[in-house]
Structure 1
Amino acid sequence: MDQHLQVFVTVAEKKNFSRAAEELHMTQPAVSQYIRTFEDRFGARLLERTNKYVRLNKAGEIVYHHAKEIVGLYAKMESLVDDLTNKASGTLYIGASYTFGEYILPHVIAQLHQLYPEIIPAVTIDNTAKIAALMMARQLDIGIVEGHFKEEKQLETDAFAEDSMVLVASPNHPIAVGNEEITAADLAAQTWILREAGSGTREASEMVLQRGHITPANIISFGSTQAIKEAVGAGLGISLLSKWAVQKELHHGELKIIETAGMPFSRQFYIITASPFQTKALQVFLELLRDKRKWSLFRGKI
Structure 2
Amino acid sequence: MDQHLKIFLTVAEMQNFSRAAEEHHMTQPAVSQYIRTFEEMIGTRLLERNNKYVRLNKAGEIVYHHGKEILGLYTKMQNLVDDLTNKASGRLYIGASYTFGEYVLPRIISNLQDIYPDIHPEITIGNTTKISGLVATNQLDVGIVEGQFIDKKLIAEELAEDAMVVVASVNHPLAKKKGEIVRTDLQRETWVVREEGSGTREATEKVFRQFNLSPEKLMNFSSTQLIKESVEVGLGISLLSQWTIQKELKNDDLKILDVAGLPLQRKFSIVTNSRFQTKALEVFLSILRKNKLLMTL
Shorter-chain TM-score: which interval?
over 0.9
Q: Read off the aligned partner of 2:263 and give its amino acid letter.
A: P
Distance 1:281 1:150, change over 3 A: closer
Distance 1:150 1:279, change over 3 A: closer
Superposition deviation, residue 217 in structure 1: 2.1
- The 1-side partners of 2:122 and 2:160 are apart by 22
Q: TM-score, normalised by structure 1?
A: 0.95
Which digits, 9 at most, give the CA deviation of each residue in 1:3-22, with x for residues without a partner? 11111111111211111111
Structure 2: state its 5+ residue gaps: none
1:107 aligns to what? 107
- The 2-side partners of 1:279 and 1:91 are apart by 10
1:91 aligns to what? 91
1:143 aligns to what? 143
Which digits, 9 at most, give the CA deviation of each residue in 1:212-250, with x for residues without a partner? 222212111111101110110010110010001011111
Which SS does the other structure have where 1:205 is aligned? helix
Are positions 1:205 and 2:204 aligned together? yes
Superposition deviation, residue 150 in structure 1: 4.6
- The 2-side partners of 1:249 and 1:82 are apart by 45
2:13 aligns to what? 13
1:73 aligns to what? 73
Distance 1:23 1:127, change over 3 A: same
- The 2-side partners of 1:78 and 1:182 are apart by 56
Which SS does the other structure have where 2:143 is aligned? strand
1:221 aligns to what? 220
Superposition deviation, residue 178 in structure 1: 2.9
Q: Read off the aligned partner of 1:219 and give its amino acid letter.
A: L
Equivalent pair of 2:15/2:55 in contact (CA under 8 Å):
yes
- The 2-side partners of 1:150 and 1:282 are apart by 20
| Equivalent residues in 2 for 1:1-302, closer than 5 Å | 1-152=1-152, 154-292=153-291, 298=294, 301-302=296-297
Q: Read off the aligned partner of 1:166 and give its amino acid letter.
A: V
Q: TM-score, normalised by structure 2?
A: 0.97
Q: Read off the aligned partner of 1:228 and give its amino acid letter.
A: I
Which SS does the other structure have where 2:243 is aligned? coil
- The 2-side partners of 1:259 and 1:200 are apart by 22
Q: Read off the aligned partner of 2:221 and give its amino acid letter.
A: F
Kindly report the root-mean-square deviation, in angstroms, between the aligned alpha carbons of the 2 structures: 1.3
Which digits, 9 at most, give the CA deviation of each residue in 1:99-153, with x for residues without a partner? 001111111111111111111111111111111111221111001111011531x
Equivalent pair of 2:179/2:258 in contact (CA under 8 Å):
no
Which digits, 9 at most, give the CA deviation of each residue in 1:241-280, with x for residues without a partner? 0001011111101100101111111100011000111000
- The 1-side partners of 2:181 and 2:43 are apart by 67
- The 2-side partners of 1:269 and 1:181 are apart by 29
Q: Read off the aligned partner of 1:111 and give its amino acid letter.
A: N
Structure 1: state its 5+ residue gaps: none
- The 1-side partners of 2:147 and 2:244 are apart by 16
Equivalent pair of 2:45/2:59 in contact (CA under 8 Å):
yes
Q: Read off the aligned partner of 1:5 and give its amino acid letter.
A: L
- The 1-side partners of 2:170 and 2:145 are apart by 30
Which SS does the other structure have where 2:85 is aligned? coil
Equivalent pair of 2:136/2:151 in contact (CA under 8 Å):
no
Q: Across the two proteins, how many residue pairs are aligned to each other?
A: 297
Superposition deviation, residue 181 in structure 1: 2.8
Equivalent pair of 2:89/2:119 in contact (CA under 8 Å):
yes
Which SS does the other structure have where 1:157 is aligned? strand
